[in-house]
Structure 1
Amino acid sequence: MINLPNDLQIDLPRVTTIGNKCINIENYISVLEYSKQIIKVSTKLNILKIEGENLVIKYITEDDLCIEGKIYSVEYWV
């Protein structure tokens, strides 16, 4: 059996941040909560809670979504 590194496993969520202005989430399931201060996103492993100011979903596709705004924190809820 071949053991792939976690970042190469297709079904795992991948979270990429650019400073505190942008966050990209790949392999998500759904958006659970959406406001200018809090966005919660469900993944196969956990729920991501993003807190900040003027948060908006810049784009959303079947595979990934991009959140922009002033990001204060990203929490992983298990």
Structure 2
Amino acid sequence: MVNLPNDLQIDLPRVTTISNKCINIENYISVMEYSKQMIKVNTKVNVLKIEGENLIIKYITEDDLCIEGKIYSVEYWV
């Protein structure tokens, strides 16, 4: 059996941030809460809590979503 590194496992969530303006989340399950100050996203591993100002979901697909705004924090809830 081949052991793949964690970043190559397809079903794990992948979170990419660009400065404090944009965050892209791949392999998510659902959006749990959504407001201009906080967005919670459920993944197979944990819940991501993004806090900031004027947060919007720029796009959402079956595989990934993009959040834009002024991002203050990203928390991983286990």
Q: 1:1-78 residue pairs with structure 2 within 5 A?
A: 1-78=1-78
1:10 is paired with a residue whose SS is: coil
Question: In structure 1, what residue type is equivalent to 2:25?
Answer: I
Task: Tell me the CA shift for residue 58 of structure 1.
Answer: 0.1
Take 1:3 and 1:77, find their aligned partners in 2: how far apart are those partners? Answer: 26
Take 1:64 and 1:6, find their aligned partners in 2: how far apart are those partners? Answer: 18
2:36 is paired with a residue whose SS is: coil
Question: In structure 1, what residue type is equivalent to 2:6?
Answer: N
| TM-score computed with the length of structure 2 as normaliser | 0.99
Identity among equivalent pairs (%): 90
Count of residue pairs the alignment pairs up: 78
Task: Tell me the CA shift for residue 74 of structure 1.
Answer: 0.1
Runs of 4+ in structure 1 deviating by more than 6 angstroms, as ranges, are none
Take 1:9 and 1:77, find their aligned partners in 2: how far apart are those partners? Answer: 20
1:29 is paired with a residue whose SS is: strand
Structure 2, unaligned runs of 5 or more:
none
Task: Tell me the CA shift for residue 14 of structure 1.
Answer: 0.1
Question: In structure 1, what residue type is equivalent to 2:52?
Answer: G
| TM-score computed with the length of structure 1 as normaliser | 0.99
1:33 is paired with a residue whose SS is: strand
Structure 1, unaligned runs of 5 or more:
none
